[in-house]
Amino acid sequence: MTEKEILEGNRLIVKFLSLEENYLGVMHNRIYDKFSLEFLDYHRDWNLLFEVVEKIENLNGKASFSIHIISGFNPLKNELSDGVSHKVDIYEINLEDKERSIIHTYCENSRMIAIWKSCVEFIKWYNNRE
């Protein structure tokens, strides 16, 4: 993952959470005189990352969204194994007919990076459908 990908992903997250760059004050229980995206650690900080997960899972509308994390997944065999990969599936659940469909799947050795990338891809998908 490149620094450019991280900055672009964190920029999407900031907009998704309705935060603004160069905000003065308290954000995420941290005090900032002034912040820029390079100081946001959504890709390294579980507390920040789970704010994104919670926002995704609490979106209101005609569907709800659910994030499933499977540890010990072997992407080559598409099954659970003693491997160290983590699989993240993001589901859309239609509230009218309760149909569930996967809108994003991602596998990565790092659980945090798998979740971060999945959230970034979800935000891209979500922004394009509105």
Reduce the DSSP state of residue 81 to 3 states and report it: coil
pLDDT for res 103: 86
pLDDT for res 52: 92
> Tens of pLDDT along 12-65?
998 888 876 545 444 555 544 445 555 678 899 888 899 999 998 888 777 788
120 pLDDT exceeds 90?
yes
What would the 3-class secondary structure string for 8-56 be? HHHHHHHHHCCCCCCCCEEECCEEECCCCHHHCCCCCCHHHHHHHHHHH
Nearest of 7, 4, 13, 5 to residue 120 by alpha carbon:
13
CATH classification of the domain holding 48: 3.30.2120
How many independent structural domains does the chain possess?
A: 1
pLDDT for res 98: 82
**Domain ranges, residue 89:** 3-129
How many other CB atoms sit within 10 Å of the CB of residue 1?
A: 12
Percent of the chain at pLDDT > 90 equals: 15
